[in-house]
Chains A and B, each alone.
Chain A
Amino acid sequence: MTAPIETTGSQAEAQPEAVLAGVKSQNIEGRSLGQIAWTRFKRDKVAVAGGVVVVLLILTAALSRPLQSLLGLDPNAFHQDLIDPNTTLPKGDFGGMSWDHPLGVEPKFGRDILARILEGSWVSLVVAFGATVLSNVIGTVLGLIAGYYGGRVDAVISRLMDTFLAFPLLLFAIAISATLQGGAFGLEGLPLHILVLIFVIGFFNWPYMGRIVRGQTLALREREFVDASRGMGASGPYILFKELLPNLVAPIIVYSTLLIPTNILFEASLSFLGVGIQPPQASWGGMLNQAVDFFEVDPQYMLVPGLAIFITVLAFNLLGDGLRDALDPRSR
């Protein structure tokens, strides 16, 4: 990808002044692709807002456990005293909201909803990031190979991608999660569930990244710097990973940002269906699953995890769309 030369109004005006003043002479230096993208991204207010929310979410997820102890909350502590024994619903209005339980407590067991949302946030993000990394690694390597070598190699890999796209993804994921639930790779419980989720979501999603990387590689491999590198006797892997890959960082970042929200939804769907994260571990999808039994009488319990998923996914989508527009204006 070439760095498009873009002179924005304000900056074009600012440069002569800088020269005249004789200070900050770095202002007239050519800007890198990253700098150009950054200026363009900053102008997109919605995307910046999305980015801010994403950063906050990642911080919340990373500090989820310390936050819980700071607030004195426990995601798995039962509070039967807050539950009306006759209706199994939380006492008080708005799902039992109080200073001790800012988002209320869940029906039946009375576990704190805020604590469970916090606990679910890290699970959700760990699975989504892990799956995205997995499909990126597979997709990038195979996409690079297909695009650079072309011919029969490309035909085989492209066919493979078409085949993967024809798989009934959700059902495969359900099947794998169901068969491996009993124990696998010597693991059990939460680590197993997280690992299985990362595997099923990441392993079947790679063709999306594969197609994008392949397409970009096809265009890049005809460029002079690749010829030059080959002329100097560089090996295939060297050209792939040291010459081509750095040029693909922008699209990889953009589509990773757009893949993460899809994966968050996927994890939530699987946990909702009961094949993802298993109770008592809190997860957003799992909370919505339990809310099914109560949503006509205690809608609060459904709204909180639903909105958590919605805000997270929306923020990542906004950030991803903004990054795409900033890094690759043609794709608008």
Chain B
Amino acid sequence: MISYIIRRAIAAVILLLVVTAVTFGIFFLLPRLAGQSPDQLAAQYIGKNPSPEDILAVKQNLGLDKPVYEQYWEFIKGIVSGATYNLGPTTVKCEMPCFGYSFKNHIEVWPQLVDRLPVTISLAAGAAVLWLLSGVAAGVISALKPGSVFDRAAMGVALAGVSLPMFFTGQLALLVFSYQLDIFGRTYVPFTENPSQWANTLFLPWCSLALLYSAIYARLTRSGMLETMNEDFIRTARAKGLKERKVVVKHGLRAALTPIVTVFGMDIGLLLGGAVITESVFSLPGIGQYAVQAITDNDLPPILGVTLLAAFFVVLCNLVVDVLYATVDPRVRLS
């Protein structure tokens, strides 16, 4: 068991290195390959109408005119041990973990991310509970009676759910339930300040996000359950006289859950790195909204920071899922 966890942890670290390398590539290598000069590249870190001095400062601070491997080294070093940015008259020490420095707003990225994390966690956790419960339940009931009225209705709703863009359903929900009926609030309040207000504001984002995901999970669960319920061990369980409910839940669902757990690990990891669209539709001050704000401001460092954070979360959640697997299903440890 311990050797398994160590192996998975090593794999996770490698994955993390790959993801940071790709992130680095997207921000520093790709624009160069596409024919942008270091000056053009630097200009994107300052915002609209940069002055030549600003461009020079950014170019030197990010090492944009150095060879690519040196840039990458500086980039990794910054994350691990912090970095110092020389901004003409002043120098800024970006403490570790240095996720970048917004030259435009003169502010470090990392503290901003930490500030916004609770909002994103609230959103992701609440939605995850909703979509897991509804999606898996709908999938199981559908699979038990394929072709039934419930199955057809649930799969119809699921198909509609995956076909609806989040930024459309979200706006519709806001329009009807918040602006017209005035049931739900629109200003985010931290849980620690006012739990009921917190839930009241988050209810619509939770539901909109859950509609999208539970549609995917219902389809996944249904196909998984249809497959497992035809397995021999289900017949055996029935033959030995187990109650149908036990057969379904303990034997069928448990086996069908494995792929769902994998997908769930990835989804929650991605969401923790910023539910970009949901947060921008419902104006929740989370990590995703920070990235969107940075797009509008033409400010690249926050986007880089958010991308890195999302990558960390995905890798972390994958690792957690791997370890959970091994405790639930002993077969996994051997492979």
Partner-B contacts on A (CB < 8 A) = 163, 165-172, 174-176, 178-180, 182-186, 261, 265, 268-269, 272-275, 285, 288-289, 291-292, 295-296, 299, 302, 305-306, 309-310, 313-314, 317-318, 321, 332
Contact B163 A175 (CB under 8 A): no
Given known pairs A166-B314, A272-B277, the reply for A184 and B36 (CB within 8 Å) is yes
Interface SS of chain A: helix
B4 to chain A, nearest CB (A): 17
For window 282-335 of chain B, which residues contact chain A by CB distance below 8 Å? 291-292, 295-296, 300, 303-304, 306-307, 310-311, 314-315, 318
Contact B31 A180 (CB under 8 A): yes
B309 to chain A, nearest CB (A): 9
B175 at the interface (CB under 8 A from A): yes
Interface membership of chain B positions 164-184, coded 1 if the CB is closer than 8 angstroms to chain A and 0 otherwise: 111110011011000100000
Residues of chain B within 8 A of A288, CB atoms compared:
165, 167-168, 171
Residue of A nearest to B22 (CB): A167
- Within 8 Å by CB of A317, from B15, B43, B162, B295, lies B162
Contact B44 A314 (CB under 8 A): no
List the 5 closest A-B pairs by CB distance, nearest first.
A184-B34, A306-B168, A168-B310, A314-B163, A313-B163
B50 to chain A, nearest CB (A): 11
B229 to chain A, nearest CB (A): 14
Residues of chain A within 8 A of B87, CB atoms compared:
none
B75 to chain A, nearest CB (A): 14
- Within 8 Å by CB of A306, from B30, B171, B226, lies B171
| Docked pose: A97 CA to B219 CA in angstroms | 39
Contact B159 A179 (CB under 8 A): no
- Within 8 Å by CB of B159, from A268, A274, A289, A317, lies A317
Residue of B nearest to A313 (CB): B163
Residues of chain A within 8 A of B168, CB atoms compared:
288, 302, 305-306, 309-310
Q: Tell which of A170, A274, A295 has the most Cβ of chain B within 10 Å.
A: A170
B270 at the interface (CB under 8 A from A): yes
| Docked pose: A310 CA to B300 CA in angstroms | 32
B27 at the interface (CB under 8 A from A): yes
- Within 8 Å by CB of B277, from A273, A299, A318, lies A273
- Within 8 Å by CB of B40, from A169, A182, A309, lies A182
Given known pairs A166-B266, A166-B314, A269-B277, the reply for A172 and B164 (CB within 8 Å) is no
Contact B34 A185 (CB under 8 A): yes
B125 to chain A, nearest CB (A): 18
| Docked pose: A180 CA to B172 CA in angstroms | 33
Given known pairs A166-B15, A175-B303, A183-B36, the reply for A269 and B175 (CB within 8 Å) is no
Residues of chain A within 8 A of B273, CB atoms compared:
168, 171
Q: Tell which of A165, A168, A182, A314 has the most Cβ of chain B within 10 Å.
A: A168
Contact B165 A310 (CB under 8 A): yes
Residue of B nearest to A316 (CB): B163
| Docked pose: A67 CA to B130 CA in angstroms | 45
B223 to chain A, nearest CB (A): 8
Given known pairs A165-B266, A182-B36, the reply for A171 and B291 (CB within 8 Å) is yes
Residues of chain B within 8 A of A265, CB atoms compared:
165
Residues of chain B within 8 A of A285, CB atoms compared:
165, 167
Contact B163 A179 (CB under 8 A): no
| Docked pose: A171 CA to B275 CA in angstroms | 10
Contact B276 A174 (CB under 8 A): yes
Residues of chain A within 8 A of B306, CB atoms compared:
171
Contact A275 B311 (CB under 8 A): no
Given known pairs A167-B22, A176-B26, A273-B292, the reply for A183 and B311 (CB within 8 Å) is no
| Docked pose: A309 CA to B26 CA in angstroms | 29
Contact B303 A166 (CB under 8 A): no
Given known pairs A175-B304, A180-B34, A184-B31, the reply for A292 and B171 (CB within 8 Å) is yes
Q: A171-B274, A269-B166 are in contact. List 10 more A-B contacts (CB 8 A).
A: A167-B314, A175-B27, A176-B26, A178-B295, A183-B36, A183-B40, A265-B165, A285-B165, A313-B165, A317-B162
Given known pairs A182-B36, A274-B296, the reply for A291 and B44 (CB within 8 Å) is no
| Docked pose: A178 CA to B303 CA in angstroms | 9
A64 to chain B, nearest CB (A): 21
Residues of chain A within 8 A of B88, CB atoms compared:
none
What are 21 A-B contacts with C-beta separation under 8 Å? A166-B314, A171-B274, A172-B23, A175-B303, A176-B30, A179-B26, A184-B34, A184-B35, A185-B35, A261-B163, A269-B167, A274-B292, A288-B171, A291-B171, A292-B281, A295-B174, A302-B175, A306-B168, A313-B163, A318-B159, A321-B159
- Within 8 Å by CB of B18, from A163, A178, A186, A296, lies A163
Given known pairs A172-B26, A275-B295, the reply for A314 and B160 (CB within 8 Å) is yes
| Docked pose: A84 CA to B34 CA in angstroms | 45
A206 to chain B, nearest CB (A): 14
For window 52-98 of chain B, which residues contact chain A by CB distance below 8 Å? none
B19 at the interface (CB under 8 A from A): yes
A288 to chain B, nearest CB (A): 6
Residues of chain A within 8 A of B221, CB atoms compared:
none
Residues of chain A within 8 A of B164, CB atoms compared:
310, 313
